[in-house]
Structure 1
Amino acid sequence: MRRILKKALATAALIAFAAGAQAKETVVWWDFLSGGDGVRMKSLIDQFNKEHADSIEIQATTLEWGVPFYTKVQTSAAVGEGPDLMTYHLSRLPLGVATGTLREITPEELKAAGFSADNYAPANWKAAQVDGKQYAIPFDIHSVVLYYNKDKLAAAGLLSQDGLPKGLDGVDNFHAALEKLKAGGSEYGVSIHSAAGDSQWRIFYSLFSQQSGKFLSDNGKFLEGDNLDKAVKATSVVAKWVADGLAPKSTDYPASIALFTSGKAAMHINGVWEVPTFTDLAKQNKLGFEWGAVQLPTFFDQPATWADSHSFAIPNRKGKEISPEKLKAVLEVVKWMNEHSLFWATAGHIPAFSPVTSSDDFKKMQPNATYSTLAKTAVFDPSSKLAGVASPVYDAAGNFLMPAINGELDPQGAMEQMRDDLDGQTE
């Protein structure tokens, strides 16, 4: 009897062990995605959960974008709470590392999960590192692009036979094109968010980087040496558009978009995230013209475009570190999301995972495939805890760059004040 009982207990233990080994892993997920991004991510999460019903379940929560999100992540990680996985802007990595909020993903862990730098644009992969250590895995590249009204550009002789703009490279050529478009009946040659500091930073940093500018020197100083002159040049270009009536003055985000969609502005500079807006309006026959989007023209010495990335990161929870089993599940989630990022591209983004961007399906996706060339020359925000989304650098852009664009400050004085303001915050 004892022998039978022992055998029964051993069998029960084996069954319990097997059940435990096959238990479903729960991945607690936080993101900051709203609007079209939020809808698309929810769809991807639902699809993942259906395909992994027996092994992994993502339990997702969406928090407020910007400072509130990063503050909550930092405070929760410090007390051992928070998610297993979260979305994170690569531009905010330096602050996350400096505050101990982010967990390194080691080369061994990346290799075991099947991640390779070869599958990502070099600048994008590097932006996911701080001091050579990996703290995130990129999901996309999102940047500013030049939207254009094909009808108006064609009438002005600025459209090539393949439907792409021509004659826009160079500061003088672009300015002349704006004048030609205005003379042809457009209220503005280009609409910009001249009342939005973050939008102006993206244009500024593109033009600044086209001059090989270095916003933050290796010694931690901002706009040091001739970089100040390059910053003044970049600022002066956009300020002249506004001063000459070729771009609108003190115009907010919605109004700037409306100028383009109404046909009052022939071109528009904005993020790739507005592609769904124009796509939907065109499908509803509410646009009234054919549109396209391309990489920003090369105004100075070399092509360069401001960029950031939505990425995936793991919080460094004090006293409640992630287990090997949970880490395996988390990295499986990230890998799956990258492999299925073609759907994410419908939000206008460029997938970070190159096997997706090199696929036939992506090459047919317009205008994404056309402007995806910018990934090769994308420039990410300076690697600093003062830089990135909702950062002191963005605040300084609102306080100094934006007034300079609108003629309220002299570009030289504005850049000097911006430099001094940021240098003062490093002390």
Structure 2
Amino acid sequence: MTEDFSRRSLLRAAAALAGGGLLVGCAPGASRSTTDLSYWHLLTGGDGTVMAGLVDAVNAANLGFHTSQTVLAWGPPYYTKLAMASAGGRAPDVAIMHASRIAGYAPGGLLEPWDLDLLAEAGLHESDFPARVWEKCQYDGKLYAIALDTHPFVLYYNTDHAEKAGVTDALHSLKSPEEFTEVATKLQAVTGKHGLSYGYLGDGSQMWRLFYTLYRQTGADMKLVPGQRAEVDKDAAVQVLTFIRSLLNDKIASRSGDGGTATSEFLHGESGLFFGGVWELPVLKDAKMPVDALPIPTMFGTQAAYADSHTFVLPRQSKVSPERRKHVYTMVAELLKRSVKWAGGGHIPAYQPVATSAEYQALKPQSNYAGIPAYVNYDPQVWFSGAGSDFQNYFAENVQNVYLGNGDPGAGFDGFVARLNKLLDRPQPV
């Protein structure tokens, strides 16, 4: 990236990175005090409230700086504006980015790498993070992100229904699709409606999260390298898609449920199981329903789970204040040290001194799935994948009919791969 980018180039780069529409707004100015830090994130709702409390706590510690938050709309609006600000060199001091988006931002100079020596001075080391999470935060041998959490796709269950159906022990020892189907069928007999709630209609993210979890459980990989054809395992994909479709039979689970319907159904006791992200936990706990959670059982032989991570990144700035930058390292370290509060929202803390603490281990059901970072799987690392991009929508465009029972699994997956190959033929926009 150079200082003399044309306006058209900036717009084109930002649009490509965000996968869609533009949101143009004011970027932070260069006249701030060296003790005034700007922090952008896309955390709203309960997560936003918790993050605001954490920032307030760090500010109250009087560490020589003050952090001001800017909260932007989740998804393309956020990532577009972050790309625009970085390309113009007028970005915030620190920002939140999903780990799955790093490959789209780091190569073109939209992010600056973290200095390992300064991290050590702030008390942060590689050994403080799960190996797979730390690895995902790197690009081309440099560290471009510091993980705050891992937020996986998990299996919730109604403990009262499970006990009545006699499947509580079985849920913790499932080893095959057939065993899962048997448990779900028994729960359906208890609820009288469905055994499983899974909302996916019109939601590529939900379709992809379950598919990729089970696909990786077969031991299959998906390698996407620009300029090369996608390396995939079609047989594994067809096996997984066929199984998912078998669950969506209007008995075990609704054939055409969306996210809101699935959550409501589970909340009202009309199902015994629920596939959802850990971010769903606060709603379930607020309803005071009898709920527990565990990693999605290993049904295809290999332990695997889909997840993403919220990470701290250093957006590119044309002029960097060394003093303010050092304060950023301290600020991030202090947020991580307080992240047990962040875990209250269902997330798994990435900072291991917190994740292994007695306070976190006492959180239930959060600590039940605390081992997932050891075998977590993120989106394939390529510039067009990740949270808030169109990658998962491409999956939905080709396989939603398969989920609905109207399409052939092999043809649907072929369509998705063909779409990927077209994107891989294009040069990276930035």
Q: TM-score, normalised by structure 2?
A: 0.88
What does residue 90 of structure 1 align with? Answer: 99
Distance 1:24 1:424, change over 3 A: closer
How far the C-alpha of 1:219 sits from its partner, in A, is: 7.1
Q: Report the secondary structure of 1:425's partner residue.
A: helix
For structure 1, the 5+ residue unaligned runs are 1-22
What does residue 126 of structure 1 align with? Answer: 135
Report percent identity of matched pairs. Answer: 30
1:14-413 residue pairs with structure 2 within 5 A? 25-52=35-62, 55-160=64-169, 165-195=171-201, 196-217=203-224, 221=228, 224=231, 227-243=233-249, 245-282=251-288, 287=289, 290-317=290-317, 319-320=318-319, 322-413=320-411
Q: Report the secondary structure of 1:384's partner residue.
A: coil
Could you tell me how far apart the structure 1 residues matched to 2:116 and 2:34 are? 26
Which sits farther off after the overlay, 264-273 or 240-249? 240-249
How far the C-alpha of 1:215 sits from its partner, in A, is: 1.4
Could you tell me how far apart the structure 2 residues matched to 1:85 and 1:181 are? 47
Could you tell me how far apart the structure 2 residues matched to 1:173 and 1:93 are? 38
Distance 1:264 1:220, change over 3 A: farther
Residues 188 and 246 in structure 1, CA contact (< 8 A), matched pair in contact too: yes
Distance 1:385 1:219, change over 3 A: closer
Distance 1:236 1:221, change over 3 A: farther
Residues 401 and 414 in structure 1, CA contact (< 8 A), matched pair in contact too: yes
CA deviations 1:143-188 (Å, max 9, x no partner) are 111110111111221113xxx8345331110011112222334311
Could you tell me how far apart the structure 2 residues matched to 1:336 and 1:86 are? 15
How far the C-alpha of 1:221 sits from its partner, in A, is: 4.8
Q: Report the secondary structure of 1:86's partner residue.
A: strand
Could you tell me how far apart the structure 2 residues matched to 1:234 and 1:159 are? 25
How far the C-alpha of 1:216 sits from its partner, in A, is: 1.7
How far the C-alpha of 1:218 sits from its partner, in A, is: 5.4
Q: Which letter does structure 2 place at the counterpart of 1:209?
A: R
Residues 188 and 264 in structure 1, CA contact (< 8 A), matched pair in contact too: yes
Q: TM-score, normalised by structure 1?
A: 0.88
Distance 1:335 1:166, change over 3 A: closer
CA deviations 1:266-308 (Å, max 9, x no partner) are 10010001111111110xxxx3xx2101111001111110011
How far the C-alpha of 1:67 sits from its partner, in A, is: 0.9
How far the C-alpha of 1:224 sits from its partner, in A, is: 2.7
Count of matched residue positions in the alignment of Structure 1 and Structure 2: 392
How far the C-alpha of 1:243 sits from its partner, in A, is: 3.0
Q: Report the secondary structure of 1:385's partner residue.
A: coil
Q: Which letter does structure 1 place at the counterpart of 2:140?
A: D
CA deviations 1:230-276 (Å, max 9, x no partner) are 11222211111013631112211111101101111110010001111
Residues 214 and 223 in structure 1, CA contact (< 8 A), matched pair in contact too: no
Residues 213 and 230 in structure 1, CA contact (< 8 A), matched pair in contact too: yes
For structure 2, the 5+ residue unaligned runs are 1-32, 426-430
Could you tell me how far apart the structure 1 residues matched to 2:58 and 2:374 are? 30
Q: Report the secondary structure of 1:386's partner residue.
A: coil
Could you tell me how far apart the structure 2 residues matched to 1:132 and 1:220 are? 21
Higher Rg: 1
Residues 229 and 424 in structure 2, CA contact (< 8 A), matched pair in contact too: no
Could you tell me how far apart the structure 2 residues matched to 1:335 and 1:186 are? 50
